[in-house]
Chains A and B, each alone.
Chain A
Amino acid sequence: MLVTGSLFPLFPGSIFASNYRQAMHWKKIDAQTVECNLCPNQCILQSGNKGVCKARQCIDGRLYSLVYGRIAAYHIDPIEKKPLYHFLPGNEALSVATAGCNFSCKFCQNWQLSQSHPEELESRYITPEQLVNQAKQNKTPVIAFTYNEPSVQYEYIYDTVQIAKKYNIACVIISNGYLNKNASQLLYPLLNAIKIDFKAYSQKFYSEICGGNLSPVLANIELAKKNNVWLELVNLVIPTLNDSPDDIKAMARFIKTHCGSTTPLHFTRFYPIYKLKNIPPTPVSTLEHARQIALAEGLKYVYIGNVPGHTANHTYCHNCGKPVIERSGFYTTTHIRKSGKCPYCNTAIPGIWNL
C-alpha cells in the first residue's frame, strides 16, 4: 500500500528520530523511502510519512516505531475479560495498550486508542523492564498487550516477552491476526497465549467493515496453532453483517480442520458502538444459534460472550458435559483440578492451567 501523505507529519526531521525505537521488519527502497513489512498493508513510506497503523513512521529513510513503550492505557483486568477462558482462569492480567491499529473496524470498542495518532493521546513511557516489574509488584501473572492491535507495538512486545520469561510472567496478545508471516513466526513462539479476533469468514466483511483482508488472518490462526501457543478465537457477531449461518459453519469447519476441535471459540454479543451505532445488539438467540452450528460442526468449546449470566459462559467438560468452570460476569468458580483434568471424569481439559 502506497502511503503518499500523512495527516500529522509532525516529526519529519532526524532531530526527533532519537526519541523512537527503530522498527523491525522493513526494507529500504531508496534513500528516503522504506517499505514496512510488519503487516499485510505493506505500507511504502517516504520520509515524514506514517503507515496506515499511525504508529510507524519513516524518518530520514529509516522506519521507526512511534509507540515503543508509550503506554496510553493501563489496567489490571480479569483474564476472562480478554476473553481467555482456558488460560489461567481467575487470574488477572496487567493490560497495556498504545495508539494505532492496522485495521479501521467500524465497530471498534477501543476506537479512541486504535484510531488515534500517538501524539494525540496522553501516554507514559514504561520500559519493558519496568512493565515486568510492575506486573510482579501487582502480582499479576500475565501481561496482556490488548485493547488496540498489539502488533503495532511489535518491538516493545518482542523485548518485553524475553524479560518476562525470566520472571515466569506470561505474555499474551489480543490481536486481529493481521501480521506478515515473517513477523508472526518470530513473535508467536515467544508468547504464552494468543486471542485472535476472527471477525468473519468473509472477505467482504474484512474489506468493507475492517479495512483488511481475510487470508492473512487465516494464515496466522494456523500459524499460532502450529507454534503451540495457546489459542482462543473470538467472533463478534453483528446482526446481518456477519451472522450468516453459512459463514459461521465455514468458520467452524476451518477452525476444526486447522486448529483442532478443542480450540475455544467465543461468539460475543455486539452492542452499538463507534460507527455502527444504529444496529441493535445481537439477539441472544442469534448467538445461541451460532453456537449450535459450531458445536454441530464438531467444536468442543464454544462460548457466548458479552452476555453475563448466560449458561454458555461456563466451561463444560467435552467428555462428560459437566461444568468445570462456572462464570458470572468476570467472577469464576473453578472446579477443574490443578492438573487441568475434569473433576468428574478425569478427562484432560485443553488449556494452560498453571505456569
Chain B
Amino acid sequence: MKHTRIFLYLSTFFIGISASIAQAIMIRELLTLFRGNELSIGIIMVLWFAGIAAGAAVSKKTTLHQSYIAYIILLHPVMLLLSIVMLYCIPLVYTTYGSFYSLEAELVIALLCLFPQCFVVGYIFPLLVSTVSALKIRYPGSIVFFLESSGACMGGIIFTFLFIQKFNPISTALILFIAASFIAFTHLQQRIKRVAIVTAIVLAAFIIVHSDALEKKLLTLSFAANHPGTLIEYRRTPYQMMFVAELDNTIALYGNSNLYAQFPDDYSVRPIIHALISTGSLLKNSNILISGDTAFLQYVFAYAGASIDYVTVDPVMWNMLQQQFHILYPDFSTEKIIVHYDDTRNYMKFAQKEYNAIIILPPPPDSILHNRLYTTEFFNDCKKHLSANGVCIIQIEGFANIMNTSLRRYVASVVNSFRQVFPSSLISSGDTIYCIGFNDNQKINVSNYLSEYINTFSKNPVAKTIQKFVPGFKPQEFQMYFQPSQLEYLDNQLKSENIINSDSLPKGYFEYLANSLQQSGSFAQDVISNPLYMIIILILTICLSFLYFKSRGSQHILFGIIIFITGFISMAAMLIAFIAYQNVYGVLYYKIALCNALFMSGLAIGSATTFMQKDFFLTRIILLVVALLMLFYFTISHNAILFYVSITLIAATTGSFIPLLLKKLPDDIQLLASTINASDHIGALCGALVTPFVLLPVFGMYSLWILLITGIILAYFRKMIC
C-alpha cells in the first residue's frame, strides 16, 4: 500500500515536471520553425489545451491496472522525443524556401507534434485521481493537483537553470525518459519488464552522448533545404535560436528563423546615415543611441567621432556580429561603442543619459514584443532622453506604389504616433519609410530641407570620413526617399486614418499582422480581421463541449461551467499580464520560466488550501477580483512586484477551484476529474483564442475589466455548490 502510494505520488510529480518541460521545449522549437509571433504562440497554446482537454474528456471510468500509469509516464517523454525529431525533419520534407509556413501549415504541424503528448497528460489526470482515491486517501483530487502543479513548478525551474544551458532538446527528452524509467522500474516487478527498462535506459544514454552530432546533422540539412547559404553555426540563447550562415562572402544572421542581419552591407543603412547627417549633426563628441540588428552604423558613427551606446538584448547576437565584423573590417575600433545588454524599452525607461540622436531600427511589429518599439509611449521615452536639438530616427516598412487597407492603417498608426510625440518631423516615403523627429519645434519644408542638406554637405566635417567608408555617398541620393508624388500619396492616405499605436491598444501590430496574412494568402486573415469569427468559434466550442458533457448530469455541467470560467479567466489574465509586462520590461521570454514557476506555485498553493475542511468560496472570488485589480494597476503603475503577486494570486485562486470541486463528488471522482480537467483546458483554450484576437484588439488592457466582471459572475454559483 505504502509502496503503491509512493509510486503514484512520484508518477504525479513526474508528469507535472515532464509536461512543463515538454511545453517549454515545444514552444521554443516550434517558434524556431514558425515565424515566432503571438499567432504562432496562440496556435501552440490552443492545441496544447485542446490536447489535454480531449485526453481528460475521454478518461472516464476505467478499471485499468496501476501498471498502466507506469506505461503512460514512460510514454510521455517518448512522445516528446518523437515530436522533437519530427520538428527537425518537417523542414526536410515540407520545404518553404524563403517563405514562412502559412498559418494553416503551422496549425497542422503543431497539431501533429503537440496533440498526442498533450492527450497523454490530460488522460492521466483523472486516472491518477481515481487510483489515489482507491487507496482511501482523503482529498485525492487536492493531492494529485498539488503534486502535479508542484512538479510543473519544479520542471520550469530545472529547465531554466539546467536543461536549457546544458542539454539539447533530444537529450532533455531522453533524460526525462530515464527518470520515468526509474519510477516505472520501482513499480514493475516482472523480470522481463525490468530488463527491458534497463536496456532502454542504456540505449537512451547512448543516444544522449551522440545527440549533439545528431541534432547538428538534422539542423544543417533542414537549414540548407529552406535557406540560401551554408549554415556555419547555430546556438540556443536564452532568447532565441540563432543561425549564422555564409552566403557569397556575406554573413546572414537568423533569430528564430527570422532574418535579422546581413553584412557586410553598407548600402542598406545609407538612408539612416543620410537622415542623421541631414539634421546637421556634427557627430564629433555627440552621444548617439542605436538599437537594431546592425553593426555598420555603430562603427561608422564611432569612427566619425561620436560616442555610441548600442542596446541589444542578446549578448550572443552582438558577439556573433562583432566577431564577423572584425574579420571584414579590421580597421574599425570598438573603443567608442558601449554595448548595453538590455531590452531597448527597458533601457529607455531607466537610463539617465541624454542623447543628440536616438536611432531605433527594430524588426517590424510582427509581434507585440516588437510593436512596443513603435508606440506613443516608447516615442515619449525616446523624447525624454533627447538633448534640446536632438533627433530621433526610426524606420518602418512602407509601400511600393499603393497601400491596401491594413498596410495603410499600420503605417498611419505608427506615423501618427510618431508625429504626436514629434510634431516637428520629416517623413519619407517608399518601401521603407524613414521618420526623423526633431526635439525642437522647427517647421520643416521637405524641398528646402533637402536643398540645404545638399548644399551644406561638403561643409560638414564628417562628410569626408563618411565618404571614405561608404562608397559613392552623395547627399543627392537622399532625394530618392522623398519623391513628391509618393509623399503626396502618403499624406492623402494618412489623412483618412486617425489611429494611434499604443501599448494599451497595439493597433500597429494587428494591422501589420493582417497585412502579412494577406500576403501569405491565408484564410486566417479574415478570421483575425473580424472578431466576429472568433466569437463564433468560441460559441461553437462551448456548445460542442456542453453536448459532450450533458450526459454526465447536471452537477457535472455546473462544475464544468465554473471551471470553464476559471480556466478562461486565468488564461486571458495571464496573456494580458505577459503583454503588459513585456511592454514595460521587455523580453518576457527570458523570464517566462519564472512566470510559469510562479503560476504553477500559485496552483500548488491554491490546491494546498483545499486540504482544509471549509471551502472559502467567496473569499477565493474576492481574492481573484483583487488580483485582477492589482494586475490592472500594474498596467498603469508598472510596479513589477504587483505583476508577480497578481499572477501568483490569480493562479492560486483560479487553480484552487479544481481540487475544491473534486471534493464534492467522492464517489464519482474519476468522471468528475475528467469533466473538470477537460473544462479547465477548454476554458483556457477559449481564453487563448479570444484574448489575442478579440479582447486585446478591441479593448486593449481594459479587457481586464471584462475578466473582472466574469470573475464576479462566479459568485452566482456560490449557493449552488455550497
Q: Enumerate chain A interface residues (CB-CB to B < 8 A).
A: 72-78, 95, 97, 106, 109-113, 116, 121, 147, 238-241, 243, 269, 271-281, 283-286, 289, 307-311, 313, 328-331
Expressed in whole angstroms, the minimum distance between the Cβ of B526 and any Cβ of chain A is 13
Chain A residues near B519 (CB-CB < 8 A): 111, 274-275, 277
A278 in contact with B477 (CB, 8 Å): no
Expressed in whole angstroms, the minimum distance between the Cβ of A244 and any Cβ of chain B is 12
CA distance A239 to B248 in the complex (A): 9
B265 within 8 A of A: yes
- Given known A-B contacts A76-B485, A280-B247, A285-B249, A308 and B477 have beta carbons under 8 A apart: yes
Expressed in whole angstroms, the minimum distance between the Cβ of A148 and any Cβ of chain B is 9
Expressed in whole angstroms, the minimum distance between the Cβ of B277 and any Cβ of chain A is 14
CA distance A101 to B519 in the complex (A): 15
Chain B residues near A286 (CB-CB < 8 A): 248
Chain B residues near A309 (CB-CB < 8 A): 267, 270, 470-474, 477
Residue of B nearest to A138 (CB): B485
B279 within 8 A of A: no
Chain B residues near A243 (CB-CB < 8 A): 248
Binds A, one of B381-389, B399-407, B562-570: B399-407
Of B99, B267, B268, B402, the most chain A CB neighbours within 10 A belong to B402
A284 in contact with B267 (CB, 8 Å): yes
- Given known A-B contacts A275-B520, A285-B248, A75 and B401 have beta carbons under 8 A apart: yes
Residue of A nearest to B429 (CB): A75
Residue of A nearest to B516 (CB): A277
Expressed in whole angstroms, the minimum distance between the Cβ of A278 and any Cβ of chain B is 5
Chain B residues near A109 (CB-CB < 8 A): 400, 431
B267 in contact with A310 (CB, 8 Å): yes
Expressed in whole angstroms, the minimum distance between the Cβ of B100 and any Cβ of chain A is 6
Expressed in whole angstroms, the minimum distance between the Cβ of B478 and any Cβ of chain A is 7
Chain A residues near B403 (CB-CB < 8 A): 112
Residue of A nearest to B475 (CB): A328
- Given known A-B contacts A239-B247, A308-B480, A279 and B402 have beta carbons under 8 A apart: no
A76 in contact with B484 (CB, 8 Å): yes
Please name the 5 residue pairs, one residue from A and one from B, whose CB atoms are nearest each other, closest first: A309-B472, A329-B480, A329-B477, A331-B476, A240-B228
Expressed in whole angstroms, the minimum distance between the Cβ of B697 and any Cβ of chain A is 22
CA distance A313 to B270 in the complex (A): 16
Interface residue total, chain B, C-beta cutoff 8 A = 46
Q: Enumerate chain B interface residues (CB-CB to A < 8 A).
A: 97-100, 226-229, 247-250, 252, 257-259, 262, 265, 267-268, 270, 399-404, 407, 431, 470-474, 476-480, 483-486, 489, 519-520
- Given known A-B contacts A77-B485, A329-B476, A308 and B229 have beta carbons under 8 A apart: no
Expressed in whole angstroms, the minimum distance between the Cβ of A302 and any Cβ of chain B is 17
Can you offer 24 A-B residue contacts whose CB atoms are under 8 A? A73-B401, A75-B401, A76-B483, A76-B484, A238-B98, A239-B247, A240-B97, A240-B228, A272-B98, A277-B99, A277-B100, A277-B259, A278-B227, A278-B258, A279-B227, A280-B250, A281-B265, A281-B268, A283-B265, A284-B265, A311-B472, A328-B472, A329-B478, A329-B480
Chain B residues near A276 (CB-CB < 8 A): 98-99
Expressed in whole angstroms, the minimum distance between the Cβ of B297 and any Cβ of chain A is 16
Residue of B nearest to A121 (CB): B402
B489 in contact with A75 (CB, 8 Å): yes
- CB contact between B400 and one of A147, A241, A307, A311 (< 8 Å): that residue: A147
B431 in contact with A147 (CB, 8 Å): no
Chain A residues near B249 (CB-CB < 8 A): 283, 285
Chain A residues near B478 (CB-CB < 8 A): 329
A278 in contact with B99 (CB, 8 Å): yes
Expressed in whole angstroms, the minimum distance between the Cβ of B388 and any Cβ of chain A is 32
Chain A residues near B258 (CB-CB < 8 A): 278
A73 in contact with B402 (CB, 8 Å): yes
Expressed in whole angstroms, the minimum distance between the Cβ of A234 and any Cβ of chain B is 15
A308 in contact with B270 (CB, 8 Å): yes
CA distance A52 to B403 in the complex (A): 23
Chain A residues near B100 (CB-CB < 8 A): 277-278
Chain A residues near B262 (CB-CB < 8 A): 280-281, 283
CA distance A285 to B100 in the complex (A): 26
Chain B residues near A238 (CB-CB < 8 A): 98
CA distance A1 to B459 in the complex (A): 63
Chain A residues near B99 (CB-CB < 8 A): 106, 275-278
CA distance A113 to B431 in the complex (A): 15
Chain A residues near B247 (CB-CB < 8 A): 239, 280, 283
CA distance A72 to B252 in the complex (A): 37
CA distance A311 to B100 in the complex (A): 35
Residue of A nearest to B100 (CB): A278
- Given known A-B contacts A77-B485, A331-B477, A112 and B267 have beta carbons under 8 A apart: no
Chain A residues near B470 (CB-CB < 8 A): 309
- CB contact between B474 and one of A78, A280, A281, A328 (< 8 Å): that residue: A328
B402 in contact with A113 (CB, 8 Å): yes
Residue of A nearest to B489 (CB): A75
Given contacts A113-B401, A239-B228, 12 further A-B contacts (CB under 8 A): A106-B98, A106-B99, A121-B404, A240-B229, A241-B228, A275-B519, A280-B250, A283-B262, A309-B474, A310-B267, A328-B474, A329-B478
Residue of B nearest to A330 (CB): B480
A147 in contact with B270 (CB, 8 Å): no
Expressed in whole angstroms, the minimum distance between the Cβ of A91 and any Cβ of chain B is 14
Chain B residues near A310 (CB-CB < 8 A): 267, 471-472
- CB contact between A283 and one of B98, B250, B407 (< 8 Å): that residue: B250
Chain A residues near B97 (CB-CB < 8 A): 240-241, 279
